[in-house]
Structure 1
């Protein structure tokens, strides 16, 4: 994430513009450019990322529009993530792809500033939305709020928060607190990671803390609590509890690892470019984290959408003609859940189990006596989106 060290119209008819020495830019971009083969590899990677990201997120929006069962408040947050990722694939990736095919930036200084701003804004929207999603799941799971499939107000506030918070931290470079400019080999643009003055460093530090560290801590805390609650339930019913614990553990670990792989390298390299010696980060080293950050547009729909059974069932129905039994089962499951259903509690053997539903569909747990006369727990309907929270009353 080094800002390219040249200016438009300064040397050659290539990608960058000259920047004064007070910004710390003393080298020509031609000396910091990738080889033709390197540009070609980056272009191929951007082509795959842009195509897959666009397809995956467009499919998510198509499913949301096609199936009414998906139109619950919590799913609006998932749609918000897909919208921001889709916009990155539409208004961002094509320009960096075209620049990589030519080995130079193609749409001028104003285009570079616009590209840096819009991609930073949309990337931050996605990050904050992931944190808001984890917090909403935490609140529902812990019972601090009741699940209500008709209450869109809280989710709408979360969506507005993600966009407002993003604008709060990505508009300042347009008004003099840091700046946007070319990065790496000069075929993409972002925040000026390279300048060493106090104005720029203060912005980089704040951006790193408030737009990367804090969302990551919120995600870890909320999903850690969710996993702990599932572990508690695993002692109530070994079969169901262990299966749910393993599934939630896999989901949480996958989300945290992918979050770190996509965004942590970008943040670390940005800090090294800001605080390290000039020339410490090579163009090759700077472009890799940038590509990893862009892969979040591909990964997010897979983790947060297609690992969601509700979305996956709709996806199966969408891509193939289902058999009659599947269709009737799917429809009956959708109809059994009423929009106004809340969290429910069941008492059995001094154990209170709170069933937390994050929206449709809800889960009902009741006592059942087996052939041996023993009482146990059975689950009817579809499985909950969040988890079960058990409290011992003994």
Structure 2
């Protein structure tokens, strides 16, 4: 891909490259889309942080991971969404080489920390549902350790381009920056391959294994038929639906981006139209909106505090009989029967 936008020093050089990729109306459309994602993402994630800080009842071990996810998404929106909105509105990347490197690093840093936090959440849900009576419980120290690890992990794998191993370059229609997927030199390719493995494949594997075990355990609990009127089946359906939404959201927002990068690395002759390449970029950045909705607002306890804060005290779900936190219900169900998942599997 051509990177003359960064090499030129004048506005004309920026414009000469950018106009070949997308029309002015196209850039304006992208600016509106990214602006909408950014504004909504900032509002939702700030709401998550403020509500959790104000209500002590929400300060549970899982809340550390959920708030950290909101902080990560807020960072992506502020340091990635806002600059991209501005550069799209201008029709070219106006921040120069240093700006590209800083934006690329910031978005990658917060983005990978978000992915790692998602993996931490999946582990927590696995422990709550599958090991409710086990010796290992998800406590505050585990949540804090998981949060700290997500930041350290992201920092370790996103700083090498700042020191020469890999680089940050323009992507898509040349209005935002990311790790350089297109460089063919050995150093850049080795970095990207290792980066994809440790920063995407590893979190994805943890999420897949954790949620697969969760659904399998729920299936085994259902076979016990220990509740009346099929309430166990209802719980399984609720949790299964939530898990499916979580996994699908992760795959939809991040898989196309990772697949595109891997395809470019594996086939040096592969050409992806810049406009097509922009779609995975925007899907990945849209996770700043989906994450708080899926991970927070499907939590009935949090929703009970957040919704009244937004609607001036009114909560339309106040009398909602449905259970939104299925994993807690299933854990309670197992405990009430005084039987562990492992024991239930023997029956």
Normalised by the shorter chain, which TM-score bucket? 0.7 to 0.9
Give the SS at the match of 1:189. Answer: strand
Is 1:75 aligned to residue 63 of structure 2?
yes
Per the alignment, residue 245 of structure 1 pairs with 236
Q: Does 1:260 align with 2:246?
A: no
Aligned partner of residue 307 in structure 1, secondary structure: coil
Question: What's 1:114 paired with?
Answer: 102
Contact 1:84 1:122 in 2 (8 A): yes
Q: CA RMSD in A?
A: 2.6
The answer for unaligned runs of 5 or more in structure 2 is 320-331
Structure 1 gap segments, 5+ residues each: 17-27, 328-341, 355-387
Written as runs of structure 1 = structure 2, the 5 A alignment for 1:313-352 is 313-318=304-309, 319-321=311-313, 345-347=335-337, 352=338
Correspondence 1:83-162 to 2 at 5 A: 83-143=71-131, 144-147=134-137, 151-162=139-150
* CA deviation after TM superposition for structure 1 residue 50, in Å: 0.3
Taking the aligned partners of 1:264 and 1:38, their CA distance within structure 2 comes to: 25
Distance 1:3 1:192 in 2: 12
Determine the structure 1 residue equivalent to 2:205: 217
Task: Give the TM-score of the pair, scaled to structure 2.
Answer: 0.86
Change (3 A) 1:41 1:392: closer
Higher helix share: 2
Return closer, same or farther for 1:117/1:3 CA change in 2, 3 Å cut-off: farther
Partner of 1:311: 302
Query: 2:5·2:93 contact (CA, 8 Å) conserved in 1?
Result: no
The alpha carbon displacement at 1:174 in A equals 0.6
- Distance of 1:59 and 1:128 partners within structure 2: 22
What whole-Å deviation, never above 9, does each CA across 1:246-286 have from its counterpart, x for those lacking one?
A: 01110111111111110011111112333334571111011
Shift in alpha-carbon separation, 1:82–1:97, aligned structure 2, 3 A = same
Is the Cα–Cα contact under 8 Å of residues 57 and 85 in structure 1 kept in the other structure? Answer: yes
Q: Give the Cα separation in 1 of the matches to 2:93 and 2:159.
A: 22
Q: Secondary structure at the match of 2:7?
A: coil
Does 2:12 correspond to 1:13?
Answer: yes
- Given that residues 141 and 389 in structure 1 are in contact (C-alpha distance below 8 angstroms), is that contact kept between their aligned partners in structure 2? no
Write 1 or 2 for the structure with the bigger share of strand: 1
- Per the normalisation by structure 1, the TM-score is 0.77
> Which structure is larger by alpha-carbon Rg, 1 or 2?
1
Q: 1:198 aligns with which of 186, 211, 222?
A: 186
Deviation of the 1:29 alpha carbon: 3.5
Per the TM alignment, residue 7 of structure 1 is displaced from its structure 2 partner at its CA by 3.4
